[in-house]
Amino acid sequence: YEGRYNKFVFNEKTLQIFLNIEEGYAAKIRNKVGCMYSYVTMRLAQFEKAGLVTLQREGRINRYMLTEKGKRLKNDLERLISE
């Protein structure tokens, strides 16, 4: 992967946030990962800017979903972690 992903991959909390995006909502990700809500939303915004997630607004609630690019990265990361 290009160098722009390095800042995401090498931070443990950021990696946990990325791997738990299937939870969909920042508050659920925060609860699962155990870090501040503002940190989760900041990282999700960076993932969106990098084209790894999309944001879908449901009223006042934001739901995050992996893009195809994000799914490929997640699969690769999970494979690396499991080795």
pLDDT single digits (tens) 6-55: 555 568 899 999 999 988 899 999 999 999 999 999 999 999 999 999 99
Rounded distance between C-alpha atoms, residue 79 and residue 40, angstroms: 23
- Give percent helix, percent strand, percent coil of the chain, each to the nearest 5: 65, 15, 20
Q: Is the pLDDT of residue 4 over 60?
A: no
Q: What's the confidence (pLDDT) of residue 1?
A: 45
- Read off the pTM: 0.83
| pLDDT category of residue 83 using cuts at 50, 70 and 90 | confident
Give the pLDDT confidence score for residue 58 in this predicted structure: 87
**pLDDT number for residue 82:** 86
- The torsion angles phi and psi of 67, rounded to 5 degrees, stand at -80, 175
